[in-house]
Structure 1
């Protein structure tokens, strides 16, 4: 039995969950979800305000975008959802309200990205702060937001185009687009597009946003697993929210509560994906740090110096205890050893102070 337990604990999934728990990742996920909930509604308003001129002339694209958003965040938009779709049709052109929403959205979104980066880098046991300065980091975050918006639009367009293409193709071969077979095929294609979208987003968050060096194979395999779990969560959340909204007693807050729970689970999956990558990289001996050869040598020097400081501090304590317990007429030898260690400790501390002035982490 002990052998079976030891084997189970040594498996990668068990080590992933152990690493996840050891870094208090559930607390980090809760903070990320709390930050995310505030940026969603302003972001939706801003998205439809900016893209309103294009969506007004293409109802199919608007419906496709709403479908992608609902697939990503179940229960967000709909007659029984948190946002009535008819309100999004009347957002109007980009104006003062949209400008205010832009400021609020950018602030909350950048805050969420910062929290996500902190959580992921905590999972990887690397310093929370990246080597980028503040301005460059915010520009990277803004670029990531822009790339996410573009990817979302592309995903919506692909969903619409694939549905149209498949409907035409099935009609050409004599299959009614409203038949069960046609609906299943279209649904499978839509799910695959969303799966690819989630995989790319997860990979981008881990590598670009967090600023980590991750082997491509390990990155996309973990991102693919995370995307599958997210897809399952979407289906479960859709069913649960749909059932909750049918109850008039809880319908008024069920969607918002369900959205908060879903965001918490989403952030948890993100950090679990990061934990999977971290454990995988530990197994192959890969480092997530983006270090040059010079920085790697300095990191090694600092590590050795930290160990030397700890070693000499321990030896000084032991020498002091031997000095205090030595017989009165034999203390001279213990005193000589103690003073020698003190001189060595001062030398090591001076070296550590010099490294700190040079930017080392000793």
Structure 2
């Protein structure tokens, strides 16, 4: 896996993805505020779900629940929409395109004809929305399962004795949700010819790495809050490093899935698709004659035969001339 990760230049690909990912984070966040501002008119819990989704990716990034970052979303959702849409159209879709290129290279997916600019951007926008929807649904499901577990334990008066069980269930559900997220990334972006089981195994590995990365980022973000020197740049630097390492986790998981025993066996069993090109043009009369003069491959070549015959004929002529003079 490590050899394939290095040969596919995944670290360099992660750098390109990090550039667009850092630029696209805040526009995507602004666009999310706009969507939540609209949805919250009909679904009041949308604000809490958005906060939970952001905290699940970057714990401690947002302020307290009554902070400025999520306050009055409905009031400023119009400006957030303008900023978010313009930013997403450039940086957000650029991040998605860079991540797609990296995953295609890791999975060694055969190149296919790319759509035109407008169709390609619309496809990337739909893919970005689908990935965001998967993240929100998985976060909401995790919250529902955790709340349901708390309610059941409270009903049975076992909250203090089995509190660890709620934590365990929450972690397991979170891993399942992250696995679904990684699987969606692989399928929607790279469309690899890799067995489903290998993709699930790679997605599970990515989910575990993602969970570890979230915990580390939460600790780092919490440490910067008490140090004024890091207030200006601490969060931005941590966010930049986090995006880079998240991309590396994605590419490591993809390398693991691509180099699994089942995936290698499938690539050996499947013959390579023959390359099909346009039909050859008809040969002209001159080209046909030149082709006919070319010796057939495998036929014995005797370049000495012509000069040898000419020399033999000259020798015979010389002998005949000498005999004639001797008779005279």
TM-score computed with the length of structure 1 as normaliser: 0.68
Indicate the residue corresponding to 1:339 in structure 2. Answer: none
Provide the rounded CA distance (Å) in 2 between the counterparts of 1:90 and 1:180.
40
**Is 1:33–1:264's contact at 8 Å kept on the other side of the alignment?**
yes
1:201 CA displacement: 1.9
* Residue of structure 1 aligned with 2:153, choices 161, 170, 178: 170
Give the 3 Å change call, closer, same or farther, for CA 197–131 of structure 1 in structure 2.
farther
Indicate the residue corresponding to 1:190 in structure 2. Answer: 170
Indicate the residue corresponding to 2:131 in structure 1. Answer: 148
Give the 3 Å change call, closer, same or farther, for CA 299–202 of structure 1 in structure 2.
farther
Deviations 1:177-236 (A, max 9, x none): xx4743x33333332333222211211222221122221001101111111111111112
Secondary structure, counterpart of 2:72 in structure 1: coil
Q: Bigger CA drift: 155-164 or 35-44? A: 155-164
1:61-210 aligned at under 5 Å gives the runs: 61-79=46-64, 85-92=67-74, 94-127=77-110, 129-134=111-116, 135-176=118-159, 179=160, 181-182=162-163, 184-210=164-190
Matching of residue 296 in structure 1 with residue 273 in structure 2:
yes
Which ranges of structure 2 fall in alignment gaps of 5 or more residues? 278-301, 305-328
Across the aligned residues of Structure 1 and Structure 2, the Cα RMSD in angstroms comes to: 3.1
1:273 CA displacement: 1.3
1:265 CA displacement: 0.5
Deviations 1:138-162 (A, max 9, x none): 3432222221222223123223322
Secondary structure, counterpart of 1:88 in structure 2: coil
Give the 3 Å change call, closer, same or farther, for CA 247–207 of structure 1 in structure 2.
same
**Is 1:60–1:160's contact at 8 Å kept on the other side of the alignment?**
no
Matching of residue 253 in structure 1 with residue 236 in structure 2:
no
- Structure whose residues are more often helix by fraction: 1
Provide the rounded CA distance (Å) in 1 between the counterparts of 2:146 and 2:44.
14
Q: Higher Cα Rg: structure 1 or 2?
A: 2
1:97 CA displacement: 4.4
The alignment covers a number of residue pairs equal to: 277
1:196-345 aligned at under 5 Å gives the runs: 196-280=176-260, 283-286=264-267, 296-298=273-275, 332=303
TM-score computed with the length of structure 2 as normaliser: 0.74
